Structures are given as structure tokens and as C-alpha cells.
């Protein structure tokens, strides 16, 4: 038979009184520990049944950015004793989607979701979301949200989410490589960009092979490829859908001159040897740029911290224009799921906090995201940060040319089909016109 360790069996020659004292002391300690464990979430002066516990599902990366978010959530919980938010990392967005849909169908969604705005259409069609027009209208925070972000909040005339953080895409480059190539002017047009990329493509060791390329382009049909290609389509005068439609059946690619021009521009950079393709679905990786194997790359402000830590020389310039300037707005929004009026009101308190100047400034300083709050952008604390990292200003300045990806059910299918077209053209398997015609036929079968 096994015996649990009893410290009192090992106290020799002690009186029963001492033994009794020790037993009472251990019993009190045990009761205290049980009480502490059972009440660890109860705050002073608040009864447990009065505390509203909310869950926030998110996929914030890299891990240090999650730490920044957690500190801000902890601060909210300290300030609001009757509302406690639990922030849960539930994987990257492609891993999250099945979990979210399963939770909605199983009637067990989180209170709040951090996610790409393009999921709005799908969740609205499932009747899972709470419209936010009325709550926002009554809130002073509405006037502080960057107006450019409203397109990412709306679907079919109603507001379904609020911006959590924003970013856009520019071109990172190595000034030292520009200097060696004798380039003194940054490119502003596609034509100038092609000339600069050609000059930056060099055989640096004289072995007859190219070992430094002008441009790094994303290969693959995934969302990063589409995300970074869309600014070129818009800049070339193209649109994904005709008019202001939020219907996937309105997709218009077959005779889309802007899309054809953007695909041809990327393909020409490959054909003349000025660009190298990333590994499949790894277009966001910065190793080749940092190592000097390429001189330019499409990326966003979320990499600024990484670049600074390396100590490698780098800078950023806006995406060169075809017919007009353009960039793509990225970042994630916060969605409200239908729960109960009490929980929804509590969740909106957290959202007002997440949109506030203080939250947005701390998030921006800790992660490199651009604040969605206009007061935050103008605050001395944030302006000081911008002065220390001047590359941030490029993203802030070109935000006015930013466009959001379409929000409607089925966007993921459109993105996948457009990604296939881009991949086919970059690999030289088909011409821009052929690939877009095949894409349009595939989408017509799906949506019409």
C-alpha cells in the first residue's frame, strides 16, 4: 500500500497539542489555497456573478506583437473590474477560418474576432455578426477613425467591423546597392522602375552569372501574392469588380486592361532578367533583400522592427504608378458576434478602448502597425516615433492612395483564381490575356 507523505508522522516526541496545532495550520493553508484557486478571477469589490467574461480570438504575429496586445488587454481588465477580456491566439488566418465557421454553426462563437476584413460578407450571410452603425453613431470614438478605413468596415450599406490596426504596401530597398549602381533618383513610374531594376541587376563577382537582382517578386497563388499585385492593377486603371458592386458575380477580368497591364509589367521584369521569384508562397520573406541578393521588394511596415534590428541599411519608397498612385490597405478588423445585449455592450466598451488614442499609439510603437486613430497619428509620442523611424512616414503618406480588397462572400475563391492567373503568367505558362480569360471562365462557373 502507498502512503502519502505526512510531515506530522516525522515529528518525534512532540505533544499532542503541538501535533494538533500543525494539523490545524496545514488545514488552514489548504483551505486558503483552494479558496485562492477558486477565486483567482474575482476582483476586489466585485462579485463573481457580476463579472462579464469575454473572449477575443486573434492570430497576431510575430509572438512579440502578441505580447504587446496582451499588455494592452491586461490594462483594460485592470481598468474595468466588471469586464474581463481573455485574448486567445487561435492560429494564422487560414487555420482560423474552419474554427470560426465551426463555432458559428455550433452556436459557440467568441465575443470578438480579430480578422482580415474580407471575411465580413461570409459571416453576414451566416447571420453571425452584430451591425455596429447605431453603437458607433453614439460613440465619440467614431470621429477619430481614419475615414479611409470605412470601406473595410462596410458591407451592403452597414458597418460590421471596426479597424484594429492598419498598414499598406511599399517598396523596401537597399540604398547602398543603389549607390554602387549609380542610381541617384528613386523611380516614380513603371517605366522608371523597370530601368532602375535593370541597373540593379548585376554580376558582382565576374563569373558570368547574375548574383544580384533588381526586384524580388512573390510567387504563388496565395493571398500575399494577390495582396501585393492588386496595387499594380489599380494603378494601371483596372478594377476587380464593375462599379461599386459587392457581388462576386460582378467580377470583371477578361477585358480588364489594368489587370492585363499589371500582369505584363511583372512578367516583363522576369523576362528581361531584372526580377527573381520567391520560393512558392514565401513572397513576404526578407532574407534575400537583407543579404543583398536583391535590391528591392514589396512589403509592409510590419517588417520595420525586423529590419532595424539587423542593422542593415534599408529605406522605403511608394509603389511606382502606372496611370495613378495606388497601394493596398492591409491590417485586421474587430468583428462582433451576436451574443446577449449585456455581452455586446461590454464588448463595445473594449472596442472603444482598442480604437482609442492611447491603445493605438502603444500598439503602433510596439508593432510597427499604423494607428487607425487620427489623434494617435498626430500625438507628440507617435510623431517622435516617426522621426526616429522615417520609413514609417512613407506608409503614412501613401495611405491616402490606399484601397481595400472587396468584401463579399466568396472573396477567397476570387483571390485563389486571381493568384493562379498571376502564377501562370510569372512562370511563363500563359499570357496575361489568356490567363485572365481562363480565370473569368472559372469564376463564371462558380458564381453564375
Are the C-beta atoms of residues 55 and 77 closer than 8 Å to each other?
Answer: no
pLDDT at 26: 40
Residue 60, C-alpha cell as written in the block: 497576431
Are the C-beta atoms of residues 316 and 178 closer than 8 Å to each other?
Answer: no
How far the first Cα of the chain sits from its last, in Å, is 74
Q: What string of DSSP letters covers 183-217?
A: --S---BHHHHHHHHHHT-B-SSSSSS--BEEEEE
Half-sphere exposure at residue 140, Cβ-oriented, CA atoms within 13 angstroms:
4
- For the beta carbon of residue 140, count every other beta carbon within 10 angstroms: 7
Are the C-beta atoms of residues 431 and 351 closer than 8 Å to each other?
Answer: no
pLDDT at 447: 84
**Each residue's pLDDT tens digit, 19-75:** 444 345 444 433 343 333 334 444 444 555 789 999 999 988 878 889 999 999 999
Q: How far is CA 126 from the centre of its chain?
A: 23
Domains and CATH numbers, the chain: 48-167+330-398 (3.40.190.10), 170-329+404-447 (3.40.190.10)
**Residue of 149, 209, 103 whose CA lies nearest to 373:** 149
Distance separating alpha carbons of residues 11 and 26, to the nearest angstrom: 14
The vertex-79 CA angle with 76 and 85, nearest 5°, equals 35
Are the C-beta atoms of residues 257 and 447 closer than 8 Å to each other?
Answer: no
The vertex-35 CA angle with 31 and 37, nearest 5°, equals 120
Which residues are within 8 A (CB) of 91 and not within 5 positions of it... i.e. 6 or more apart? 59, 99
pLDDT at 146: 92
Burial letters 78-88, b for 16+ CB under 10 A, else e: eebeebbbebe
Which residues are within 8 A (CB) of 424 and not within 5 positions of it... i.e. 6 or more apart? 430, 435, 438
Residue reference for cell 478594377: 239
Tell me which residues of the chain have a pLDDT lower than 70.
Answer: 1-48, 93-94, 243-249
Q: Is 113 helix (H, G, I), strand (E, B) or coil?
A: strand
Q: Is 243 helix (H, G, I), strand (E, B) or coil?
A: coil
Which pTM value belongs to this model? 0.80
**Whether the bond into 44 is cis, omega within 30 of 0:** no
**Residue of 237, 238, 236, 286 whose CA lies nearest to 266:** 236
- For the beta carbon of residue 306, count every other beta carbon within 10 angstroms: 13
pLDDT at 62: 77
Residue 243, C-alpha cell as written in the block: 462599379
Distance separating alpha carbons of residues 257 and 126, to the nearest angstrom: 35
Residue 426, C-alpha cell as written in the block: 510569372
Q: What are the backbone angles phi and psi of residue 250, rounded to the nearest 5°?
A: -85, 10
Distance separating alpha carbons of residues 137 and 268, to the nearest angstrom: 49
pLDDT at 145: 96
Amino acid at each position: 500500500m502507498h502512503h502519502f507523505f505526512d510531515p506530522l508522522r516525522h515529528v518525534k516526541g512532540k505533544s499532542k497539542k503541538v501535533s494538533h496545532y500543525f494539523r490545524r495550520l496545514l488545514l488552514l493553508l489548504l483551505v486558503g489555497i483552494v479558496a485562492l484557486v477558486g477565486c483567482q478571477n474575482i476582483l476586489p469589490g466585485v462579485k463573481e456573478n457580476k463579472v462579464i467574461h469575454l473572449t477575443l480570438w486573434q492570430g497576431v504575429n510575430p509572438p512579440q506583437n502578441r505580447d504587446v496586445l496582451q499588455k494592452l488587454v491586461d490594462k483594460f481588465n485592470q481598468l474595468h473590474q466588471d469586464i474581463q477580456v481573455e485574448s486567445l491566439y487561435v492560429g494564422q488566418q487560414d487555420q482560423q477560418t474552419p474554427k470560426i465557421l465551426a463555432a458559428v454553426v455550433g452556436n459557440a462563437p467568441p465575443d470578438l474576432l480579430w480578422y482580415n476584413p474580407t471575411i465580413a460578407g461570409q459571416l453576414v450571410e451566416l447571420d453571425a455578426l452584430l451591425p455596429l452603425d447605431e453603437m458607433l453613431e453614439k460613440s465619440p470614438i467614431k470621429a477619430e477613425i481614419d475615414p479611409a478605413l470605412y470601406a473595410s468596415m462596410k458591407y451592403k450599406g452597414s458597418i460590421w467591423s471596426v479597424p484594429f490596426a492598419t498598414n499598406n504596401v511599399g517598396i523596401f530597398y537597399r540604398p547602398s546597392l543603389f549607390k554602387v549602381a549609380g542610381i541617384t533618383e528613386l523611380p516614380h513610374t513603371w517605366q522608371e522602375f523597370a530601368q532602375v531594376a535593370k541597373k540593379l541587376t548585376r554580376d558582382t563577382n565576374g563569373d558570368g552569372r547574375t548574383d544580384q537582382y533588381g526586384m524580388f517578386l512573390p510567387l504563388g497563388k496565395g493571398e500575399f501574392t494577390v495582396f501585393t499585385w492588386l496595387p499594380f492593377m489599380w494603378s494601371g486603371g483596372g478594377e476587380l469588380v464593375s462599379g461599386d458592386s459587392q457581388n462576386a458575380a460582378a467580377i470583371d477580368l477578361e477585358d480588364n486592361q489594368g489587370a492585363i497591364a499589371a500582369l505584363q509589367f511583372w512578367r516583363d521584369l522576369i523576362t528581361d532578367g531584372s526580377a527573381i521569384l520567391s520560393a512558392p508562397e514565401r513572397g513576404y520573406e526578407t532574407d534575400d533583400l537583407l543579404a543583398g541578393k536583391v535590391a528591392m521588394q514589396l512589403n509592409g511596415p510590419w517588417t520595420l522592427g525586423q529590419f532595424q534590428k539587423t542593422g542593415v541599411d534599408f529605406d522605403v519608397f511608394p509603389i511606382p504608378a502606372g496611370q495613378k498612385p495606388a497601394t493596398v490597405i492591409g491590417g485586421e478588423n474587430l468583428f462582433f458576434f451576436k451574443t446577449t445585449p449585456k455581452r455586446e455592450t461590454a464588448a463595445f466598451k473594449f472596442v472603444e478602448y482598442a480604437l482609442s488614442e492611447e491603445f493605438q499609439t502603444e500598439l503602433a510603437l510596439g508593432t510597427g502597425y499604423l494607428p487607425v486613430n487620427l489623434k494617435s497619428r498626430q500625438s507628440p509620442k507617435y510623431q517622435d516615433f516617426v522621426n526616429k523611424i522615417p520609413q514609417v512616414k512613407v506608409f503614412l503618406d501613401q495611405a491616402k492612395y490606399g484601397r481595400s480588397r472587396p468584401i463579399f462572400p466568396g472573396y477567397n475563391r476570387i483571390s485563389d483564381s486571381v493568384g493562379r492567373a498571376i502564377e501562370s503568367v510569372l512562370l511563363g505558362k500563359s499570357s496575361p490575356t489568356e490567363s485572365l480569360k481562363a480565370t473569368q471562365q472559372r469564376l463564371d462557373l462558380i458564381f453564375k
